Amino acid sequence: MKINKFGFEFEEYASMAELSDSDSELLGHAIQAVENAYAPYSHFHVGAALRLGNGKVIKGNNQENIAYPSGLCAERVAFFHASSNYPDVAIEAIAITAKAQNFEINEPVTPCGSCRQVMSETETRQPGDIRVIMMGQSGKIFVVKSVGSLLPLMFKAEGLKK
Ligand code: THU
């Protein structure tokens, strides 16, 4: 038996003012995307913005439903939109943020496990890594250079072929 260890690096920024212009601009789109979230059940409004290789920005937000599991997170709304409309264009980066009705989110919003799986598979289907920029309403901002680092030992298609 041997023990293996996994670790990953992430950048931390004190505020949007510290970010590069392109990261800050993409977060600006994610902030706008929050406004169209449909979240009458959780009151947690999430916005995501993708920067594609062709320069386009795709926005998504969480879309809830009274049949709770029928809803979808902001990240997957944006990723599935990109994949269905621009199947051959790489996703370079995603910015994620959120606004809550009843409290201030002062920690970065980090994607759920299902979104990490979808984003990671997209990354394996394209040549480049997907940068992830995560912010709350206030406080620090986290950035990872590759979504793969958020999902070690992910389930891959090879698992089905055996
Ligand atoms: N949600 C997202 O859209 N993205 C995340 O990264 C975390 C959670 C949504 C799902 C649900 O509509 C609400 O936030 C509360 O979980």
Residue 50: per-residue pLDDT: 98
pLDDT at 157: 74
SS3 158: helix
Low-confidence ranges of the chain (pLDDT < 50): none
Q: How far is the CA of 62 from the centre of ligand 1 (A)?
A: 6
* CATH homologous superfamily for the domain 19-160: Cytidine Deaminase, domain 2 (3.40.140.10)
Q: Ligand 1 centre and the CA of 38: distance in Å?
A: 11
Q: How many CB atoms lie within 10 A of CB 150?
A: 20
| Nearest in space to 151 (alpha carbons), one of 6, 46, 50, 12 | 6
pTM: 0.96
Pocket test for ligand 1, best of 36, 46, 61, 147 (most atoms within 8 A of CB): 46
